[in-house]
Copies of this chain bind each other. A is one copy, B any other.
């Protein structure tokens, strides 16, 4: 069991329990979780708080050095916005729960030198499949469709 992916999944589950979109993320530096978050579109009426963005925001202002030594865990393949944030801060490694239900900008990240490790975790897939079946319009809104 990867404790960091487990923490990201717990964030996703918390979001679902709040009536939101079940995507969670944690930012890890030197083995320690320094930011955690989940999608808050529904909870805060937010157009920008995807899970990864929420984790980065909750980590607060950090020196460039910390980002460059950090690993971002996310339950779902990161969309263009979240991938752009990863690129902006030069986060070198992203661990992705799954990309079966949504394929983000993994190719673009890899082309920029980011290591992207996709786990295809059955729990992450299940969270998204259940949600997309229950709330297809909300999911489309979150990915600009």
Contacts and interface: CB of A to CB of B under 8 A. Distances in A.
A67 B80 CA distance: 15
Total identical chains: 2
B88 A85 contact: no
Given A41-B61, A61-B41, A64-B140, A85 B145 contact: no
28 contacts: A41-B61, A46-B57, A46-B61, A47-B56, A47-B57, A47-B59, A47-B60, A47-B61, A47-B62, A48-B48, A48-B53, A48-B85, A63-B141, A64-B140, A64-B145, A67-B144, A79-B84, A80-B85, A80-B87, A80-B88, A81-B88, A83-B84, A84-B84, A84-B105, A88-B143, A88-B144, A89-B144, A108-B108
